[in-house]
Amino acid sequence: MDIVELWTMASASGVVLDAKMRKNIERYCGEIKYWNQKVNLISRQDVDNIFQKHILHSLSILKYVNIPNKSAVLDVGTGGGLPGIPIKIARPDLSMVLIDSIAKKAKITQMLAAHTGLRNLEVLCGRAEEYCREGGKFQGDKGFDLIIARGVAQAKKIVEWTKPALRPNGSYALLKGGDLRKEEDDLKELYPSALIEIKDLEMAGVDFLAEKKKIMLIRL
């Protein structure tokens, strides 16, 4: 898949990328491929399929979540900036914080984020639970409207770590795979009133269903 195919498939799924966004995504992918030879940011098996396996997968959140303009978003366990950086490129109005506990990854991701030239994009090295315990301060404001993660941990743990930084009426969008019934039951046991939706991930032209990719939407 190349950038034109990515643009076509994203557009067919309601995610519109203008020329500047596409250029930013191409540059980001090129840098990911370069730095992945030094630090394991993504699976080496996925390097040749980065547009499909990582970029389109990350952008799928924008298909399933209606994120209000200028929302504050936290990406937990961002690794090499996924899904946060692709979403920020496609939605430059958002305020985005990316956090990862591995210093090497956070340092490289901070550089990749800076190269986008986008404002209100911050990368932190640390544990999400410690950061969120302080309320998740970002540029003087506290808390987040949306918390996202991609294959980081069980939903229950992510919510436990980050709930102190979730604003009233805030929500979660977690990219996951496989059978999520136990995760849903465990989360319901901890938060009986939580509204949980689990949807099969579908994006035009990509067979995420064969890989059992899903998105878990949570509102406490």
CATH number at residue 190: 3.40.50.150
Residues whose CB falls within 8 Å of the CB of residue 94, separated by 6 or more in sequence, listed in order: 67, 70, 71, 72, 73, 87, 88, 120
Mean local confidence (pLDDT), 164-173:
94
Against a cut of 0.85, is the pTM above it? yes
Alpha-carbon distance of 59 to 82, in angstroms, equals: 10
pLDDT tens track for 32-77: 999 988 888 888 777 888 999 999 999 999 999 999 999 999 999 9
Structural domain for 215, as ranges: 3-219
The pLDDT mean for the chain works out to 93
Residue 139 binned pLDDT confidence (cut-offs 50, 70, 90): low
Sign of CA dihedral 78, 81, 83, 89: positive
Residue 123 binned pLDDT confidence (cut-offs 50, 70, 90): very high
Mean local confidence (pLDDT), 87-91:
98
**Number of domains the chain is built from:** 1
Alpha-carbon distance of 100 to 98, in angstroms, equals: 7
Q: Which two tokens stand for residue 67?
A: 């994120």
